[in-house]
């Protein structure tokens, strides 16, 4: 048995949807707590980290990006930093959406690296919406810790 809303129920549902749409699009920012406003501004993509032999592997889901323009992988002060931007694929007016769950905007993911990880031990590859960063030899003992600093890691794109 399907439940049908009355005209009044439909109008109320539309007003509530419009209120939330306006709230999340910035029109009612005073009602949105600061922590939730920051969530809208940056996004932390889903990540898996696992060991493969002596390597530590990080897989980050980043569908819908151009890795040549919208992706930066960096090792800085003992952290792996993945950041960039995901753009809308087509122009649709905000008021024309019934539901908007696909995220666009800035993203950043920071992961602490094992002590002593060398910049040279890190490689990155993007394939079919997934970035795989390998920290080679992270499972072995490292005798001398890496000095603090920052280095961008080139991302190889598989076709």
Give pLDDT tens digits for 41-86. 567 788 999 999 989 999 999 988 899 999 999 998 888 999 988 8
The matching CATH number, chosen from 3.90.700.10, 2.102.10.10, 3.40.1160.10, 2.60.40.790, for 42-157 is 2.60.40.790
Query: In the beta sheet, which residues pair with residue 108?
Result: 83
- Say yes or no to pLDDT of 145 above 50: no
Q: Which tokens belong to 156? A: 């190889």
Query: What average pLDDT does range 18-32 have in this prediction?
Result: 59
Q: pLDDT digit string (tens) for 85-136? A: 887 766 777 677 667 667 777 888 888 888 878 888 899 999 999 999 999 9
Helix (H) or strand (E) holding 41: helix 34-41
Three-state DSSP class for residue 118:
coil
> What letter does residue 30 receive in the DSSP assignment?
G
Ranges of each domain in the chain:
1-32, 42-157
Distance CA 11, CA 36 (A): 27
pTM over 0.75: no
Tokens of 6: 């009355």
Tokens of 30: 């005073």
């Amino acid at each position: 048995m399907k439940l049908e809303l009355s005209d009044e129920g439909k109008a109320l549902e539309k007003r509530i949807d419009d209120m939330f749409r306006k709230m999340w699009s910035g029109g009612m920012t005073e009602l949105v707590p600061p922590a939730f406003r920051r969530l809208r501004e940056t996004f932390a993509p889903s990540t898996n980290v696992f060991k493969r032999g002596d390597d530590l592997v990080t897989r980050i889901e980043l569908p819908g990006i151009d890795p040549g323009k919208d992706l930066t992988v960096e090792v800085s002060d003992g952290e792996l930093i993945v950041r960039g931007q995901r753009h809308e694929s087509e122009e649709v007016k905000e008021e024309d959406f019934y539901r908007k769950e696909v995220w666009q905007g800035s993203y950043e993911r920071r992961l602490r690296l094992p002590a002593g990880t060398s910049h040279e031990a890190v490689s990155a590859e993007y394939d079919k919406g997934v970035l795989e960063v390998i920290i080679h030899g992270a499972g072995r003992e490292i005798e001398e810790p890496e000095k603090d600093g920052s280095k961008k890691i080139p991302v190889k794109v598989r076709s």
